[in-house]
Homo-oligomer: A and B are copies of this chain.
Amino acid sequence: MGKRIGARTVRLGHPPAVLSFAAVGGHMEGKGPLAEYFDELSEDHFWGQKTWEQGESTMQRHALNKALEKATLHEEDIDLIFAGDLLNQCIGSSFSLRGSNIPFYGVYGACSTMGEALSLAAMMVDGDFARRAAALTSSHFCTAERQYRMPVPYGSQRTPTAQWTATAAGCCILGDEGDGPYVTHLTTGRIVDKGIDDPNNMGAAMAPAAYDTLSAVFRDTQTAPRDFDLIATGDLGRLGHEIVTELFASDGVDMTKNYVDCGLLLFDLAGQDMHCGGSGCGCSASVLNGYLLRGMREGKWRRILFAPTGALLSPTSSFQGESIPGICHAVILSNDREE
């Protein structure tokens, strides 16, 4: 059955190499513990534009430009780009790429979008459909608040289980040849909905999807948590991270040694008043394309399981009383191509 192993996992025949990566962030990200891993930090949440939405597109575009620049690549060297964001009709991405000529596929996986985009980019390169393919995602605190909750100037109070949408973007460029790290495996998510219907408690809504996909990774690749130097879920935050740890504990699987969550890494939760942690397409994207990939290049970790999660709700679905479907797409990155 070709490159498929198990029910949901692909083992890439010739693992694509990470040619370049870049992370761009805003004010709060610059005050957080990962500040030094960003390629660019801006104090201006409009990014020189007139609206927050235009600002998000500009920030996303900067992430792409930085990633190209760091690898001395140009737009025309990229055969395909997969991009997405949280905004209605994904305008963060379509407006960021409006001035570019790169063949473009829009993707939507809420906060799991970097996992989806990276998976698809990896298959495009491995399948010879692209020499180089890019994955690009963003989120913006002010655009997300306006769209999902209340405009920021209203000063709404946040609930203790709420997360903070990161103002950040990340870009990863994959190619056929390079020094790595390499994308060796990927596991596609399926929709998991356990009936949580509180849109201010996304961590709990997404945790079952993370558990489902991570279980599939371990089963399909015949690995256990100890086979990875680091396991990083997307934006489950404090509560979701605890739930995933407990779900695995009840299976007798120990996740306490090397399991982190991007939503817990990006901010200093107590010092920055972040409640349950960071979230948004830009959260896991900027953590991956800054802290995690740089750490791999520097030899801090050899093999990482990156598994961002998304909550596939909309304000309309919540108003209509629907529960929150979650999804989690996983990618294994390794410094060893023959993993």
Give the interface of A toward B (CB within 8 A): 1-4, 8, 10, 13, 50-51, 53-54, 79-80, 84, 86-91, 94-95, 97-98, 100-110, 116, 119-120, 123-124, 126-131, 147, 188-191, 193, 312-317, 320, 322, 325, 327, 329
Q: Could you tell me if B107 and A108 are in contact, using CB atoms closer than 8 angstroms?
A: yes
Q: Which B residues are in CB contact (< 8 Å) with A54?
A: 320
B130 near A127: Cβ-Cβ < 8 Å: no
| Residue pair A89, B312 in contact (C-beta under 8 Å) | yes
Docked complex Cα distance between A100 and B95 (Å): 33
Is A316 a contact partner of B87 (Cβ separation < 8 A)?
yes
Does A320 contact B53, Cβ atoms closer than 8 Å? Answer: yes
CB atoms of A320 and B190 under 8 A apart:
no
| 7 A-B pairs with C-beta separation under 8 A | A3-B127, A51-B320, A84-B108, A95-B317, A103-B190, A105-B119, A123-B124
Q: In the bound complex, do residue A101 and residue B190 qualify as a contact, i.e. CB atoms below 8 Å apart? A: yes
**What is the oligomeric copy number?**
2
Q: Contacting A104 at CB < 8 Å: which of B94, B127, B327? A: B327
Q: Which residues of chain B come closer than 8 Å to A84, judged between CB atoms? A: 108
Q: Which of B88, B95, B109 contacts A322 (CB 8 A)?
A: B95
In the complex, the answer to whether B191 meets A104 with C-beta atoms within 8 Å is yes
Q: Which residues of B contact A86 (CB under 8 A)?
A: 89
Contact A189 B107 (CB under 8 A): no
Interface centre among A98, A110, A129 (most CB of B within 10 A): A129
B108 near A106 with CB under 8 A, answer yes
Contact A188 B104 (CB under 8 A): yes
Q: Shortest beta-carbon distance, A249 to chain B, in Å? A: 25
Known: A10-B129, A88-B314, A107-B107. 11 other contacts (CB 8 A): A53-B316, A53-B317, A80-B188, A91-B317, A97-B191, A100-B191, A102-B190, A106-B116, A120-B120, A127-B128, A147-B316
Please report the C-alpha to C-alpha distance between residue A97 and residue B320 in the assembled complex, in whole angstroms. Answer: 18
Closest chain-B Cβ to A17's Cβ sits at a distance in Å of 16
B325 touching A94 by the CB < 8 A rule? Answer: yes
CB of A104 within 8 A of CB of B189, answer: yes
Query: Across the interface, which residues of B come within 8 angstroms of A89, CB to CB?
Result: 86, 88, 108, 110, 312-314, 317
CA distance A53 to B321 in the complex (A): 12
Centre residue among A86, A101, A131 by max chain B CB count within 10 A:
A101
Interface centre among A120, A314, A325 (most CB of B within 10 A): A314
Contact partner of A105 (CB less than 8 A), chosen from B87, B107, B325, is B107
CA A110 – CA B94 in complex, angstroms? Answer: 11
- Chain B residues closer than 8 Å to A94, beta-carbon distance: 191, 312, 325, 327
CA–CA, A120 and B117, complex, Å? 12
Q: Quick check: B103 and A8 within 8 Å, CB to CB?
A: yes
Instruction: State the CA gap A105–B118 with chains docked (Å).
Output: 12
- Say whether A2 contacts B109, CB under 8 Å: no
Q: What is the minimal beta-carbon distance from A235 to any residue of chain B, in angstroms?
A: 15
Identify the closest chain B residue to A3 (Cβ): B128
CB of A113, distance to nearest CB on chain B (Å) = 8
